[in-house]
Structure 1
């Protein structure tokens, strides 16, 4: 079972790239972020033609998440616990059946939080607390799950091309990193680091200042696995070549494979 996450940064602009990647990479379940579209604007027909069931939590012009699955999927959440009435579209969760039992996949687009010292940063940390609440509930089921998405957190200085350049950024603040460690300390596994233990493994390159050409990247897109999923982890990949395509997203797909046969 191949599970992937990709911040597509406007699905309408990247439909061609997305469909081409789906056809070549053939992930079983994909969570998308920053689709920047409501359901009526989403290129559902093109993606269904590639064989995928499509579920969307959309928002006009901003945010927005989607879950695509080659298999029948039961949507189990369209927001984190205790959503506000004006909750932005940042979370979707679904369950698929495998020969080794159910697998829940949550897709999230975590708030950026900049600038620090503002209500935006406080909202980021509060959102991460709600994510941890959801993770605890999922852990109580003792079933396989993956929480994938754009976490907007750089876990360590190894995960950024220049720690000094991001010292004042919400992505590297101690509170942000501690909130991510809280998730890991619950018993979740960072899939990329479970296999690629050392060195940079970037998932994002800014559009500005030649970041892609200079390999000035960040690792902010993560797949966190429950113990039951981590026990079945067999492979991890970052499809870096997608950043070099025409009209690319500034993020690339991250995927893992679980042995559920």
Structure 2
């Protein structure tokens, strides 16, 4: 099974790119982030014409998450959002069961400027997500937690790390929270297969970042112990970032043995 994650940075604005990528890459399951669309304007018919069914939790500005699955794959929604902050109405998490595997699709808050209220919200959201991750591990079932974590875990994951020491994606508190999350028992899929390589998933629109390969690795796959040994391949469809009117992220994918 091939599972992908892609921060599309606006599903309607990037729809031709998304549909082209789906046709060429043919993932079985796709997690999308930053839909930037209310529920009623999600392009459901176009997604279905591409051969996928979908569940989503939309939001007009900035947020929104979705999980797509090929037509022959059953998808059952489990939950939307995270417990622990009832007044939080941002659409940043959706969870489903696909082929007896729990798929969690997340869009972690950016947190900038840091310090400040946005950074404090990011850390609270991270704590709530970590709590949910631990609950899923305790259920002792196969789980994939993937999406835009807005975290650069190590210096290998950012171009010129010395320039990012005060950024909310690279601050020590955030990196430590990510490491504590992984230490629950999760496997970072990209790092398992490519422990030392410089691999990026995001390139800013400004300063020719993509042309200079001045990127970050902020889109991650975490696998529960049931799936770690089934990991067969992983990669980044970097060329998609260079397509006309593409997102500032590139799709990231893994393949699991049956």
3-state SS in 1 of match to 2:23: helix
Residue of structure 2 aligned with 1:90, choices 67, 92, 101: 92
1:190 aligns with 2:192: no
| TM-score where L is the length of structure 1 | 0.96
Q: How many angstroms apart in 1 are the aligned matches of 2:62 and 2:117?
A: 19
Q: How many angstroms apart in 2 are the aligned matches of 1:30 and 1:229?
A: 17
Q: What does 1:97-246 correspond to in 2, within 5 Å?
A: 97=99, 102-246=100-244
Q: How many angstroms apart in 2 are the aligned matches of 1:240 and 1:154?
A: 17
Residue-by-residue CA offset, 1:8-67 (whole Å, 9 max, x unaligned): 000101111111111111111111000100121111111111111111101112211111
Q: How many angstroms apart in 1 are the aligned matches of 2:149 and 2:179?
A: 12
User: CA RMSD, aligned part only?
Assistant: 0.9
| TM-score where L is the length of structure 2 | 0.97
Q: How many angstroms apart in 2 are the aligned matches of 1:76 and 1:199?
A: 35
Paired residues of 1:81 and 1:133 also in contact (CA < 8 A): no
**After the TM superposition, which parts of structure 1 deviate over 2 Å for at least 4 consecutive aligned residues?**
82-86
Deviation at 1:241, TM superposition (A): 0.4
Q: How many angstroms apart in 2 are the aligned matches of 1:9 and 1:243?
A: 12
Q: How many angstroms apart in 2 are the aligned matches of 1:230 and 1:50?
A: 30
Name stretches of at least 5 consecutive residues in structure 1 with no aligned partner: none
Q: How many angstroms apart in 2 are the aligned matches of 1:118 and 1:61?
A: 21
Paired residues of 1:32 and 1:67 also in contact (CA < 8 A): yes
The residue number in structure 1 matching 2:49 is 49
Name stretches of at least 5 consecutive residues in structure 2 with no aligned partner: none
Deviation at 1:168, TM superposition (A): 1.0
Q: What does 1:56-95 correspond to in 2, within 5 Å?
A: 56-70=56-70, 71-95=73-97
